[in-house]
């Protein structure tokens, strides 16, 4: 497995909020396929990056 970097994984979706992303993952339970679990994790990953990006950019511009 490649090392995951803090950049959007464009083949996976993102949700409008972390709560929506978490609910999306929970709606898929039980998850038995590792590929499906990874896809759900990447959806949360993309949403998290979208959510924290404004905070991170304000830290680097000061």
Q: What are 11-24's pLDDT values in tens digits?
A: 999 999 999 999 99
**Residue of 38, 34, 36, 40 whose CA lies nearest to 14:** 40
Give the per-residue pLDDT at 5.
83
35, 1 in Cβ contact below 8 A?
no
Question: Average pLDDT by consecutive 10-residue portion of the chain (62 residues)?
Answer: 82 94 93 92 93 76 58
Distance CA 4, CA 21 (A): 19
Report DSSP state, residue 11. T
> What's the residue count for the chain?
62
Could you tell me if residue 10 is left (phi over 0), alpha (psi between -120 and 50 degrees) or otherwise beta? alpha
């Amino acid at each position: 497995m490649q090392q995951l970097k803090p950049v959007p994984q464009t083949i996976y979706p993102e949700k409008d909020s972390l709560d929506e992303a978490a609910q999306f993952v929970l709606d898929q339970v039980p998850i038995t396929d590792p590929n499906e679990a990874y896809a759900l994790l990447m959806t949360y990953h993309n949403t998290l990056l979208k959510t924290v990006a404004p905070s991170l950019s304000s830290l680097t511009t000061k």
